[in-house]
């Protein structure tokens, strides 16, 4: 009898969990926890050093939302695509809550690089990026999902291609266009 790889096992457990097997969830979480933690760490890398939401709390919140989500899991890639969306939503909700608590809640336009990678204004940046991704989704849903999978989900081009059912070449082409669109939207002076 052939032992399934971790990737195959994750897919099998997800499908069993979707079928109502609660024990499958208990077996699944140790297999995906470290990857979720890496995704959370990647998402938080752009936040300021004293960010009030540590990676563990982000993973725990994502876990709680994933457990209560009514999703028919297809496979491992689908799971991490949904996880990426949840991580993004949690960060945006946290940033909005944090910004409401600050005085003068006005937002400044910042570049995509500043919003995604560094800076003390990361809470504002994540909200701006989220709003820009929502505008992009209104024009081109797939490009918005691609950015979400690659930057929030930490997926490889091949994994994102599989999740979106497109070729890796299409991923590269659409990512180039999506980044250009976001750069224009997030540039100072953009309306």
Contact predicate 178/144, CB 8 Å: yes
Model pLDDT, residue 84: 85
pLDDT tier at 104 (50, 70, 90 boundaries)? very low
Burial pattern 32-47, b for ≥16 Cβ within 10 A else e, equals: beebbeebbebbbebb
Q: Is the Cα torsion angle 174, 115, 122, 102 positive or negative in sign?
A: negative
Across the chain, mean pLDDT equals 79
The structural domains of the chain, with segments of one domain joined by +, span: 6-186
3-state secondary structure labels for all residues of 43-65? HHCCCCCCCCCCHHHHHHHHHHH
* Rounded distance between C-alpha atoms, residue 142 and residue 154, angstroms: 16
pTM: 0.67
């Amino acid at each position: 009898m052939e032992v399934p790889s971790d990737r195959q096992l994750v897919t099998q457990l997800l499908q069993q969990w979707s079928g109502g097997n609660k024990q499958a969830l208990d077996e699944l979480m140790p297999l995906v926890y470290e990857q979720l933690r890496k995704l959370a760490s990647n998402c938080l890398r752009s936040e300021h050093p004293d960010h009030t939401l540590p990676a563990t709390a982000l993973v725990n919140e994502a876990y709680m939302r994933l457990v209560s989500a009514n999703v028919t899991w297809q496979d491992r890639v689908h799971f991490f695509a949904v996880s990426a969306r949840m991580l993004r939503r949690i960060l945006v909700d946290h940033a909005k809550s944090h910004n409401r608590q600050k005085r003068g809640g006005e937002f400044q336009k910042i570049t995509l690089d500043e919003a995604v990678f560094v800076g003390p204004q990361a809470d504002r940046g994540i909200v701006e990026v989220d709003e820009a991704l929502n505008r992009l989704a209104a024009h081109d849903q797939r490009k918005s999902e691609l950015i979400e999978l690659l930057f929030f989900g930490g997926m490889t081009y091949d994994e994102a291609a599989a999740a979106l059912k497109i070729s890796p070449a299409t991923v590269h082409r659409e990512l180039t266009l999506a980044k250009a669109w976001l750069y224009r939207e997030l540039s100072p002076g953009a309306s």
